Chain A
Amino acid sequence: MAELEHKVRGVDHAAFPTFDPAGTVRFYRDVLGFPVVHSICAAGWGPEDHPDFIHFFFDIGNDDRIAFFYYFGLEPQHAHARGDVYAGFGPEVPEFFVRSRHLAIHVEDDADLLEYRRRLDDSEWPVEMQIQHETIESIYTHDPNGYMVEFTRAMRPVTPQEDLDADLTIDALLDVVAEPDPSFGKLLARKAELIVERAADWEPARS
């Protein structure tokens, strides 16, 4: 497969609706200290009775941004207690699934992670979990809109062999999901075959 030049430059913005602009500004600007860097005041127009709205942006570092839409006069779009203002879930939906979609914001090191932990713990939105995963450590809370927000730091640099491992995992996954009844066991068996085929000749890319 031909290599496609990788030209993108990170997240311009990730956008979410809000029904609580005051809480949203308190959380992102006043508690976390994310500067407001852009906003659009737009009169509703178009064929769908689009409401008037404010589209506002916070800097999340690296010139990346998180953005919100506040629509004047719009009522909440669902009545579920679980989930966030965009998507609600009934009691039949497992918690791991509800939590699976979230935004993770990168911080440089342990000291910075603890600094954001301190800011959140002093606010209405204290940290709910602090977890050391495989190679990253994260804190989690939910913003005033119910969106789960993670802050994470790397516990060590990613090694070159992890890139190989990721490639083999994805190739094994594509093979397994192309067949009926994919399972973790089938993935590990297929990945073992790929390791035998490809790992011995692997050399770290020279940077």
Chain B
Amino acid sequence: MTALYVLDVPENTSVAKVAGEDATVTVNKIGPYFEITAEGPIVIDRRATGCRHAVWYSCVAGVGGGRITQHDKDALRVDPA
């Protein structure tokens, strides 16, 4: 299970929303964090989130069960360990 944690603040809500549009991805809350989980990879398109770069590059709070394999101007991708 791959888990991506994103703090629920106004700048980050679109990250969780875009992540959840993938049918293989589940978005829950754990305290004030979005817990974004999937059996496989989690891929989020930056342009779809509308995040400016400073927000985009600081939106990840934690990664469980996998690791970030892409985090650039195009996408954030977390692959299973």
A interface, CB within 8 angstroms of B: 131-135, 156, 159-162, 164-165, 168, 172, 185, 188-196, 198-202
Contact = CB atoms under 8 A, between A and B. Distances in A.
Contacts of A159: 9
B59 to A, nearest CB: 9
A191 B68 CA distance: 14
Contacts of A185: 63, 67-68
Interface in B15-46: 30-33, 35
Given A131-B54, A161-B8, A199 B30 contact: yes
A132 B9 contact: no
Interface of B: 3, 5, 7-11, 30-33, 35, 52, 54-55, 58, 60-64, 67-68
B31 to A, nearest CB: 3
A77 B33 CA distance: 50
A199 B6 CA distance: 12
A130 to B, nearest CB: 13
A188 B33 CA distance: 14
Given A192-B3, A192-B5, A199-B33, 14 more contacts: A134-B58, A135-B9, A135-B11, A161-B8, A161-B9, A188-B60, A188-B63, A189-B62, A189-B64, A191-B62, A192-B61, A195-B5, A199-B31, A201-B31
Nearest to A158: B9
Contacts, number: 72
Nearest to A156: B10
Contacts of A165: 7, 32, 61
A135 B32 CA distance: 17
Contact of A162 (B9, B62, B63, B64): B9
8 contacts: A156-B10, A161-B33, A162-B9, A188-B68, A195-B5, A195-B62, A196-B64, A202-B32
Interface of A is mostly: helix
B54 A192 contact: no
B66 to A, nearest CB: 9
A199 B32 contact: yes
Contacts of B3: 192
Looking at A161, A198, A199, which has the most chain B CB atoms within 10 Å of its CB?
Answer: A199
A106 to B, nearest CB: 18
Given A135-B11, A159-B9, A165-B7, A192 B62 contact: yes
B54 A133 contact: yes
Given A132-B52, A161-B32, A164-B31, A191 B5 contact: yes
Nearest to B59: A134
Nearest to A185: B67
Contacts of A201: 31
